[in-house]
Structure 1
Amino acid sequence: MKNLFEVEAAIIGAIIDRPELFLKLNEKLSPSDFSPQSRLIFTAIKELFSETGKVDFPSLLNKLNKKVDASVLKAIAEYGGFTVDVDNAAELLKKASLKRKLESALSGTLKQLSQNAEPEETARKLEYTLCQILSQKYRYNPEIPDLLTEYELFVRELKRNPWLPLPFTRIQQAIGGIIPGTFWILGGYTSRGKTSTVVELATYLLKKDAVVVHFSLEEERKLTVSRYLANLTGIPILAQLKEKLNGEAARTLEDAKTYLSSKSLYIYDDVFDLQDIYFRSQFVQTEKGKIDLIIIDYIQLVRIHGCRNLTEKMDAAAITFREISKRLNTTVIAISQIGREYTRESAAIGFKGSGGLEAACDIGLWIDPVPDKERQFYLKLRKHRLGPTGIFLMEFTNTFTSVREVNDKNTKNEFDKTPGQIETSIDESREFFEENLEEIDEY
């Protein structure tokens, strides 16, 4: 095939010759991938297949009704008689389409700049456009037979590559794992362990070689790093920052830094716009080939232009984060503040600015304190699209640096310390970290 037109003609000709190829190619290509004349033909084929379940040349000519040049149809008819590697042809067309769309986006940006458009806003629009182009996934046909085929392939793939597990045994049994393409929200009172719980989850996933992107919208990123180090070592944040650690403690902390630097953890504290969050996430996915978890800490601080109040803002955020989870095939966990109207007896989940948040999330988690027990809290699974809800008793361990289920014998980090014991029990902290490293090697 000498040029792009011949590639397009080969693809369309192959479909006419073997109509069963259409379902396969329709998952990979969209009409916008073709040049204008071929686009009309591909669209007509799609309509015919939808109407009759088959494609033939006379029906196609009738459908087109002389909208396409006769020379184009003749070339397609000729190519239909040859054996063509349609997968290779589709890949060539996809790359050519991507190049054309990128050239169009860059040309439009240069035109805007020549007309004295605001550079920063123009750059932001270009970023968003590039993300949309890069994140285009294979297409699918929503007819039930094709969806059932897609479902069967999904189940087979899931059995080969199970979802990443959660670090809490009973919650894992209830939810099933970190489910790609889902949007989770964790809400609760201030300073009750929301971020600590999410960091516990993220640290556990890093041990499984997951790719984690943490958007820290409230906390400076160096402090967020210290949270991860605290979770790994049991050394509290203030002890890391202010105390003079002994040799053993210092070595434990250095080991944790070395370990963490080898993992795919990205922490941003300077990203607030929804479009920027999407762009940075897409950048990481392009670089690493996947993202397993995106953390938004916390969702009420996301900046959304044009929203008149918090409810509108949260509705827009919920829709966007749900879209990001599906488009990037990842799990998005957003931390949420509590709504003033929330009470423990309330039937509503109670996320601040709620409404859209409750409706959009697939998993709705909530933290409630246990009266008179500072170290314990209830983690309530209040919404679950795929299974049951439930209440799980949790507790802080290691001087509030990690979280575990109460009475979960499979959960590690079972030793505990108080602030006054940091120096005397740091050997335990190092042993804990080395045990984790051994588990990682075995895994």
Structure 2
Amino acid sequence: MKYLYNYPLPPQNYLAEEILLGIILINPDIFPNIVPSIKAESFFLESHQLIYIHLIEIYKKNKLHPLELLYYLSNTKTLYKIGGINKIMEMMKQSQIFISSKNINIYTKELIELINNDYIKRLMIQYGYNIIRLAYVKQFSSYKLYNKASHYLNFTVKQIPKENFKNFQDLIGDLLLNIKYKEEKKDKKIQYSQLIKSGFIEIDKLTSGLPNGDLIVIAGRPSMGKTSFAINIANNILKHSYIGIYIFSLEMSSKQILNKFISISSNISTQDIILNNINIQQWHIIQKICNELLKTKIHINDNPNMSIDYIEYTSKLLKKEKGNIQLIIIDYLQLIQVDNYKNFNRTQELSYITRKLKLLSQYLYIPIIILSQLNRSIETRTNKKPILSDLKESGCINYKTCLDLAIYPNNYLNITKIFLIQDLINIKCVINKLTKRYSIYNLFINPYIKLLLQYIFNCQTYRLVEIFLTHNHKYLINNKWYRTNNLLDNMIISKYNIRYNLKNNYYLGNIFFIKYSKVYDIHMIEYLNFLCSNIILHNSIEQDADIVMMLYEKEHNEIRLNNEKILDIILCKNRNGPTGSCELLFSPNSTIFKNIQ
């Protein structure tokens, strides 16, 4: 016998789907118990998915009835797609035999389990097929393949319905245990929260330690001591706890990092350790420190050619195998590579990297410290104190510029409204999904909009569109990002029309220097770019960071005894609390950072 279909059909049970939908129509009172246990995607046939979605909609309006379902399907012009009235009648007929039974709840639960099991199997087949196809792509790295497979598995786990039914034995047992051990749990939480501290009193007061799930950027000019500062933080943590720390070092070798750990703990110059210029007493100190370091759970990866996919893959794998990794340090951002095969410039790659690191920190629920360089534009300024926009590949917008807010709630609605940034601070859009209307009301100042002072340039197109940006903000030109200070007359910039989903190109007319003015640094939560007067602009790297700390040495800094000097640690951004600054003593010889007494 020859089959018309060469492959077996995906796992499905359309009969169970029809019976379940028929039971809901005949006995609507049972629907509240069904909704949490099954999703529309679990149904195999598209007609059944449409019926279930419409049942949920009329249930929300307290109109769950077969006639209401027919009216609603007719109004949305989907009644013909699902098979018409005959389809609804047929489902109700098939379910009649179950309605008179006393065990209807048991039957519906078994039907739901059948449908959900088939849905999970279909997902696994589809994802497995995707992984097989990706495995045949030669340019696709094994790290990306692992990350993709891990993502598929995690998504599938989330689709498996959890049991919502609990008896009194479980509830009362949990209640009594919670009451009895409430104080112990509090103590354990406090003790655990105190483990992840930087060890610097003033910094911990501002940041409340290193919060889990946060991306922390430590920035500074070359030779300012960024790596030493990060290793000092790790060393302080290891003094008080035995948590696991993973260091990705793209600049220094593992031996250099080990020398820094020993130098910081022993107060012996790194140069003396490298040249073996130590006496007997110092040798005993180093032996003792090495014995202590052997007990720690610290891992160092000094591969100089690491990509963001390799970092993500290794971190997830180590977290899964070891289970005790509580902090990741990466040195440094600008050396991380991207495994892509598109015409992306370095600006887009760095934005992609920081977004991936932020998602990784949230996925692993641990803090990630990333070191970064600052712009060389600091050297040209009179005041060389770093500010947030001095992070590489970043910029700000003038307060008089109009910003286009594209709002995409669950990909169902697209509303665009133009606001001045100075008005944006005190407003918020709220969207009603049913009426598809938006309203505006006052609210407190948005913490993700930061006020700064910068030099402003006015860029005009031949169609008299004006944008006021700082010198280091970027435009999209021929699928590449260009900074304002690299623009030339008659260059073609990209303009996007949201209403018609079109991208147009316009010639750049004139570029004028305006003045030293106040600007706003706007935090974009989901996207790597945004629209300003319909022109596509770039989202800054620091937007992904939760905490940004910058190292700064004042001019004419006094050199204290033992060649110690004072460094300012400027907390430019802190999503968990206030910003500010503090001073630390830094010894370049031993690379030790200390609190000022």
1:306-330: CA deviations, max 9, x gaps? Answer: 4644332322222222222222222
Q: Distance in 1 between matches of 2:129 and 2:547?
A: 42
Alignment correspondent of 1:123: 142
Offset at residue 19 of structure 1 (A): 3.4
User: Is the 1:215–1:295 contact (alpha carbons within 8 Å) kept by the matching residues of 2?
Assistant: yes
User: Is the 1:311–1:354 contact (alpha carbons within 8 Å) kept by the matching residues of 2?
Assistant: no
1:182 aligns with 2:366: no
CA distance 1:392–1:346, shift in 2 (3 Å): closer
Is the radius of gyration larger for structure 1 or structure 2? 2
User: Is the 2:200–2:594 contact (alpha carbons within 8 Å) kept by the matching residues of 1?
Assistant: yes
CA distance 1:252–1:284, shift in 2 (3 Å): same
1:131-190: CA deviations, max 9, x gaps? Answer: 323555858xxxxxxxxxxxxxxxx99986253323111211111121112211111111
1:338 aligns with 2:338: no
* Partner SS, residue 388 of structure 1: coil
User: Is the 2:246–2:327 contact (alpha carbons within 8 Å) kept by the matching residues of 1?
Assistant: yes
1:358 aligns with 2:542: yes
> Which AA in structure 1 matches 2:147?
Y
Alignment correspondent of 1:144: none
> Which AA in structure 2 matches 1:300?
Q
Q: Distance in 1 between matches of 2:275 and 2:389?
A: 39
1:364-388: CA deviations, max 9, x gaps? Answer: 1100013243522000101112321
Structure with greater strand share of residues: 2
User: Is the 1:379–1:392 contact (alpha carbons within 8 Å) kept by the matching residues of 2?
Assistant: yes
* Partner SS, residue 206 of structure 2: helix
Alignment correspondent of 1:327: 363
User: Is the 2:58–2:69 contact (alpha carbons within 8 Å) kept by the matching residues of 1?
Assistant: no
1:184-219: CA deviations, max 9, x gaps? Answer: 111111111111111111223334233322111111
* Partner SS, residue 292 of structure 1: strand
1:259 aligns with 2:292: yes
> Which AA in structure 1 matches 2:105?
G
CA distance 1:35–1:231, shift in 2 (3 Å): farther
Q: Distance in 2 between matches of 1:50 and 1:263?
A: 59
User: Is the 1:216–1:296 contact (alpha carbons within 8 Å) kept by the matching residues of 2?
Assistant: yes
Q: Distance in 2 between matches of 1:384 and 1:127?
A: 33
Mapping of residues 406-417 of structure 1, within 5 Å:
406-407=596-597
Q: Report % sequence identity.
A: 19
How many aligned positions are there?
376
> Which AA in structure 2 matches 1:275?
D
CA distance 1:261–1:135, shift in 2 (3 Å): farther
* Partner SS, residue 198 of structure 2: coil
CA distance 1:70–1:43, shift in 2 (3 Å): closer
Structure with greater helix share of residues: 1
Mapping of residues 146-165 of structure 1, within 5 Å:
161-162=189-190, 163=193, 164-165=196-197
User: Is the 1:235–1:401 contact (alpha carbons within 8 Å) kept by the matching residues of 2?
Assistant: no
CA distance 1:360–1:123, shift in 2 (3 Å): closer
CA distance 1:54–1:334, shift in 2 (3 Å): farther
User: Is the 1:291–1:328 contact (alpha carbons within 8 Å) kept by the matching residues of 2?
Assistant: no
Mapping of residues 28-47 of structure 1, within 5 Å:
34=42, 36=44, 44=52
Q: Distance in 2 between matches of 1:323 and 1:43?
A: 36
Alignment correspondent of 1:415: none
User: Is the 1:234–1:398 contact (alpha carbons within 8 Å) kept by the matching residues of 2?
Assistant: no
Q: Distance in 2 between matches of 1:339 and 1:158?
A: 45
Aligned-CA RMSD value:
4.8
CA distance 1:284–1:248, shift in 2 (3 Å): same
User: Is the 1:112–1:122 contact (alpha carbons within 8 Å) kept by the matching residues of 2?
Assistant: no
> Which AA in structure 2 matches 1:318?
T
User: Is the 1:131–1:279 contact (alpha carbons within 8 Å) kept by the matching residues of 2?
Assistant: no
Q: Distance in 2 between matches of 1:46 and 1:290?
A: 47
Which runs of 5 or more residues in structure 1 are unaligned?
A: 140-155, 408-443
Alignment correspondent of 1:218: 251
* Partner SS, residue 260 of structure 2: helix
1:241 aligns with 2:274: yes
User: Is the 1:17–1:80 contact (alpha carbons within 8 Å) kept by the matching residues of 2?
Assistant: no
1:279 aligns with 2:313: yes
Q: Distance in 2 between matches of 1:85 and 1:250?
A: 71
Alignment correspondent of 1:52: 60
* Partner SS, residue 177 of structure 1: coil
CA distance 1:83–1:165, shift in 2 (3 Å): farther
> Which AA in structure 2 matches 1:296?
I
Offset at residue 303 of structure 1 (A): 0.9
Q: Distance in 1 between matches of 2:264 and 2:104?
A: 62
Structure with higher RCO (Cα < 8 A, 6+ apart):
1
Alignment correspondent of 1:404: 594
1:191 aligns with 2:199: no
User: Is the 1:48–1:55 contact (alpha carbons within 8 Å) kept by the matching residues of 2?
Assistant: no
> Which AA in structure 2 matches 1:195?
T
Offset at residue 16 of structure 1 (A): 8.2
Which runs of 5 or more residues in structure 2 are unaligned?
A: 1-10, 160-182, 396-539
TM-score (ref. length: structure 1): 0.67
1:300 aligns with 2:334: yes
